[in-house]
Structure 1
Amino acid sequence: MTLTLQSAARILDEHGLLDEIIDGRTWTMDAADVADSDRPFASITYDTRTVADGALLVCKGRFRPEYLDGLDERGLAAYVAETDLSERTAAPGLIVTDARKALSLLSAEFYGRPQDRLTVVGITGTKGKTTTAYLAHAILNDYSDGHAALFSSVDNCLDGRTYEESDLTTPESLDAFRMMRQAVGNGMRYLVMEVSSQAYKVHRVHGLTFDVGAFLNISPDHISPIEHPTFEDYLYCKRRLAYNARALVLNTACDHADLIRQDAARAGAALAEFEVAPAQGGAGVEDIPGVPAAEAPRAGRVTARIDGADDAFRLTADGRDLGAFRLLIPGAFNVANAAAATAIALQAGVPADDTAFRAIERVRVPGRMEVETDEASDTTVIVDYAHNHSSVVALLDHVDRRYGAAAPHITLVTGAAGNKAIDRRQEIVEAAQRRIDRFVFTAEDTDTEPYLDICNDMLRHVTEPGVETAVVVDRVEAIRDALRDARSHPGRTDVVLVIGKGDERWIKDLNRHVPYEGDDCVVKRLLSEPLR
């Protein structure tokens, strides 16, 4: 499908976004008044550096009029903006009420509405999005013989087999539709994608309807002047998924579940639910906070029953037994993610008796609950992306369940994001300080805020007198410090938790991605070195 000035104006007008079209001195609502308005755009972009002959430029965010200087000579065909920029360009302008919404709608059209040729799954929640996305993708990829794509905060996969590191949890709309187009060209039939609160806040998925949406959980996060001003705003953005999904999968233990059920009912979305429940006889779930007692099976419900401390579990769907499972990814919270992925796949059309559900037992998520051991010193190291209160609590719950009998000495290597989510610094400390023995505060990601300031901010929130603390800004040296301490105490069982970065091969500093080895690789390398 081609995108022209006329078709772009029609789409924007249909969605109530078009204010007017400005072409020199002509102000009009009829694109036919503009010369060559039926000529297809050669490209669409929001980056002035990529403007070439026939390009449509969407001026979003902190766009400055002077960015348009010189673009006429490079062939700018038209622009989309929230204000008249005709003093800087002779190209016609589509003036809109919201440039980000316009970008999403026009990108979908430019790339031929690839979402219409895919079964699209969108997953939101404060924690568990990535793991659930990987598990759901594994089922759908197995069921479709390798024809499922994935957009996640860790990797993107556009051909069912090749994974490349991603930059954002949810891509910018233009990039998302471009990648969808590529996935369709590769023969993909399914797409599983994470949907962040920011994706709805800044309209990266505006106009996109998910065939299946999943709401995993909600707790305060991303509260800052540049993200969500309040928890209510954060939850409101998450809830938009219910209004943009044909079917919604919901965690029965989710806070505000009744509100989200009301959202689904108002939107006319079919509602399915999932839960983690005690095994027959009631064993194995008592130390998972917030898990409700099992209810009688009802239509559209997937239940995972944990059986013992090793996180083995049995799945049922609407009371039908799907079998016993054990994940490669440890943690009872990942059993909940497996139940969510199963419910998603069922809603996406996978028959309950299909062997594709077994694919969840083969899934590893890079940088997620990766365990390394040093048997000589009785040290276990867990690398994970935990980065907020709820995920740190879940990680420590797992440590208690799996290693608590040995009364381990626990060290937490952690940082926090700079310039945003300020509350995380206190919340991570409060989640851990009464349950661990030592903090090592270190660099994570920042725009302009100094790493040392972030570490010291976290340090001042430590109020538990019995916990040791250290600040080691260099992340590799921080991990080295934690491992050296753990391995230097014969006869002591140690657990070292390295959180926040996982297998990311960069650290953000001064708005740049600086190459970094990755926590997973650093841990493996340091454990292979002799203790010095």
Structure 2
Amino acid sequence: MALTLATATELLKRHHLLREIVQGDIWTMDASRIPHSDRSFDSVTYDTRQVAPGSLLFCKGRFKAEYLEGIDDRGLAAYVAQTDYSAVTAVPGLVVNDVRKAMSLLSSEFYGRPQDELTVVGITGTKGKTTTTYFTQAVLNAASHGKAALFSSVDNCLDGRTYEESDLTTPESMDAFRMMRTAVDNGMRYLVMEVSSQAYKVDRVYGLTFDVGAFLNFSPDHISEIEHPTFEDYFYCKRQIVANSRAVVLGEEIDHADIVVEDAATAGVPVSRFVLGDATDADHAAVIALPVDESHGTYRMASRDTEGAVTDLGEYHLALDGDFNYRNAAAAVAISLAAGVGADDAAALHAMEPVRVAGRMEQFHDTQSNTLAIVDYAHNHASVTALLDFVEDRFADRDPRITLVTGSAGNKAYDRRQEIVEAAQHRISNFVFTAEDTDTEPFIDICMEMKGYVTDPEVRSTVIDDRPSAIANAVYDARAHADRFNVLLLIGKGDERWIKDHHKHVPFEGDDRVIQRLFGLADGDADSRAAEL
């Protein structure tokens, strides 16, 4: 059904969002009083620069009336806003209580509700979302012969094979539905997408029901005045995926899991669980991953159906190292089973094994010294702890001398700064604090704040503003201690080719490319597994 002023009005009424339609002196709830209310919109946009004849414009965010000056001459058909702009435009305005919710609903209708033609998987959690998303897409791609799309914080893939860098963990609702329509038109049957807490906080997924929703884990993060004001608010936003899914996959390690289960019971949503290792309640898990040879990263998976029958899924040996990635793999198996992949489809379930995610657990060995560098997106207490656990598990017998090159994002998640230091300081030899996505905060303020949290007198710390120089400093320091096995952990940026500064993405070489250059390695010459060094 085409989106018109009349159909938009009825949809907004059903969701109790419409306040009134305004055009000049006409204030009404009846779209038939507005001329041409049955004319289809030709496009939808939230950017006045993209307005063309027949456009429906969403006036969201810090919108100003002056943005509409002269816009009637460009053919604007109507606008949706929380404010009456009839003083600056003659076109009809749908005045609503919440423009973001309205944008999500109306965008979905404009693009023909593409979600109804896909099996949509949504994955949330404090850590592991991206990796689990890639693992799950690999399985669903294999099961469907290449018909699984992906929305992630790293890349978007709309045809099962072509990956393009993304801007947001979860796209704006309009962009998401547009990309879903493209995916459907490309023949996709599945969509796997990351769902951030902000996606629910600012209604990027309003009105979208996931066929499978996954809640991987939970720990404090994203607490600031521009993200979540409290820990409770962060958790509440994460929990919204439960009531907005037809089936839920839940990690065993979630704190306060009882209320998540209560959410599911209230919504009438079935829950399946996954677990890594010897959890006491593994008997209740739908997917279990048990270590076979932890030093070489081999785990055996098993699934349990609703009748309690157990199916051995075989041994898994991932290209991505780290026990936490086997937890992500167990999640991907549980999600895939919930999405309809058969437990007997071994080829599909094992399709995740060769998957690598750029900027995650990428390992490089120095050609000039006994030094291993790991590039990873770790950026909070939980992920830094998991990374250090991995180093300890794999290399404890080599007594590694560890250097952590890190910064922290500006203007948000202030708690990370102390948590990163506290997670690392009694387990490493050196900190090198440097610029990350400092945005409008001076990098020196962030770095000096982090340096101030270092209380262990045995740990050295330094501040170097230029990120490539900071990495180079860590490399030269490791070479100066060639009598030891050195591990350099370069965290927070992964393979990103930009640093955010004053709301702009400033080009940046990338941690992976910097370390390749310094180590004298060819582009892409990353070690697949540190245990083989």
Residue 426 (structure 1) aligned with residue 412 (structure 2): no
Q: What is the deviation of 1:446? A: 2.6
Find runs of 4+ consecutive structure 1 residues off by over 3 angstroms: none
Q: What is the deviation of 1:519? A: 1.1
What corresponds to 2:525 in structure 1? none
What corresponds to 1:473 in structure 2? 465
What corresponds to 2:47 in structure 1? 47
For 2:350 and 2:479, locate their aligned partners in 1 and report how far apart those are by CA, in whole Å.
Answer: 38
What corresponds to 1:487 in structure 2? 479
Q: Larger deviation: 254-263 or 391-400?
A: 254-263
For 2:43 and 2:281, locate their aligned partners in 1 and report how far apart those are by CA, in whole Å.
Answer: 54
For 1:490 and 1:257, locate their aligned partners in 2 and report how far apart those are by CA, in whole Å.
Answer: 47
Q: What is the deviation of 1:448? A: 1.1
What corresponds to 1:414 in structure 2? 406
What corresponds to 1:65 in structure 2? 65
What corresponds to 2:257 in structure 1? 257
Q: Report if aligned partners of 1:446, 1:511 keep a CA contact under 8 Å in 2.
A: no
Change in CA separation of 1:375 and 1:528 when aligned onto 2, cut-off 3 Å = closer
Q: How does 1:307-386 map to 2 (within 5 A)?
A: 307=292, 308-318=294-304, 319-354=310-345, 355-374=347-366, 376-386=368-378
What corresponds to 1:440 in structure 2? 432
276, 280, 285: which one aligns with 1:293: 280
For 1:108 and 1:478, locate their aligned partners in 2 and report how far apart those are by CA, in whole Å.
Answer: 46
Q: What is the deviation of 1:488? A: 2.1
Change in CA separation of 1:447 and 1:490 when aligned onto 2, cut-off 3 Å = closer
Q: CA RMSD in A?
A: 1.2
Residue 305 (structure 1) aligned with residue 297 (structure 2): no
Residue 206 (structure 1) aligned with residue 192 (structure 2): no
What corresponds to 2:223 in structure 1? 223
Change in CA separation of 1:334 and 1:501 when aligned onto 2, cut-off 3 Å = same
Aligned to 1:142, what secondary structure does the other structure show?
helix
What corresponds to 1:5 in structure 2? 5
Q: What TM-score results when the alignment is normalised by the length of structure 2?
A: 0.95
Q: What is the deviation of 1:376? A: 4.3
What corresponds to 1:142 in structure 2? 142
Q: What code does the residue aligned with 1:510 have?
A: H
Q: Report if aligned partners of 1:45, 1:57 keep a CA contact under 8 Å in 2.
A: yes
Aligned to 1:390, what secondary structure does the other structure show?
helix
Q: Report if aligned partners of 2:367, 2:520 keep a CA contact under 8 Å in 1.
A: no
Q: What is the deviation of 1:259? A: 1.1
1:321-354 deviations in Å (ceiling 9; x for gaps): 0001111111111111000000000000000010
Q: Report if aligned partners of 1:314, 1:323 keep a CA contact under 8 Å in 2.
A: yes
For 2:438 and 2:123, locate their aligned partners in 1 and report how far apart those are by CA, in whole Å.
Answer: 26
For 1:134 and 1:121, locate their aligned partners in 2 and report how far apart those are by CA, in whole Å.
Answer: 12
For 2:106 and 2:512, locate their aligned partners in 1 and report how far apart those are by CA, in whole Å.
Answer: 40
Q: Which sections of structure 1, spanning at least 5 residues, go unmatched?
A: 279-291
1:201-257 deviations in Å (ceiling 9; x for gaps): 000000000000000011110000010000000000000000100000001121111
Aligned to 1:76, what secondary structure does the other structure show?
coil
Q: What is the deviation of 1:529? A: 7.5
Aligned residues: 515
For 2:30 and 2:23, locate their aligned partners in 1 and report how far apart those are by CA, in whole Å.
Answer: 11
1:87-120 deviations in Å (ceiling 9; x for gaps): 1110101010000000000110011100000000
For 1:263 and 1:309, locate their aligned partners in 2 and report how far apart those are by CA, in whole Å.
Answer: 39
Q: Larger deviation: 193-202 or 428-437?
A: 428-437
What corresponds to 1:501 in structure 2? 493
Q: Report if aligned partners of 2:214, 2:335 keep a CA contact under 8 Å in 1.
A: yes
Q: Report if aligned partners of 2:367, 2:521 keep a CA contact under 8 Å in 1.
A: no
Q: What is the deviation of 1:139? A: 0.2
What corresponds to 1:106 in structure 2? 106
Residue 78 (structure 1) aligned with residue 86 (structure 2): no
Q: Report if aligned partners of 2:251, 2:274 keep a CA contact under 8 Å in 1.
A: yes
For 1:490 and 1:275, locate their aligned partners in 2 and report how far apart those are by CA, in whole Å.
Answer: 40
Q: Report if aligned partners of 1:57, 1:76 keep a CA contact under 8 Å in 2.
A: yes
Q: Report if aligned partners of 1:425, 1:457 keep a CA contact under 8 Å in 2.
A: yes
Aligned to 2:296, what secondary structure does the other structure show?
coil
Q: Which sections of structure 2, spanning at least 5 residues, go unmatched?
A: 305-309, 523-533
503, 516, 519: which one aligns with 1:527: 519
1:494-524 deviations in Å (ceiling 9; x for gaps): 0000001101111111111111121111111
What corresponds to 1:237 in structure 2? 237
Q: Report if aligned partners of 2:275, 2:282 keep a CA contact under 8 Å in 1.
A: no
464, 475, 478: which one aligns with 2:456: 464
For 1:293 and 1:378, locate their aligned partners in 2 and report how far apart those are by CA, in whole Å.
Answer: 40
What corresponds to 1:195 in structure 2? 195
Q: Larger deviation: 443-452 or 169-178?
A: 443-452
Q: What code does the residue aligned with 2:211 have?
A: D
Aligned to 1:431, what secondary structure does the other structure show?
helix
Q: Report if aligned partners of 1:377, 1:488 keep a CA contact under 8 Å in 2.
A: no
Q: What is the deviation of 1:363? A: 0.4
For 1:456 and 1:70, locate their aligned partners in 2 and report how far apart those are by CA, in whole Å.
Answer: 48
Q: What is the deviation of 1:294? A: 5.3
Residue 154 (structure 1) aligned with residue 154 (structure 2): yes
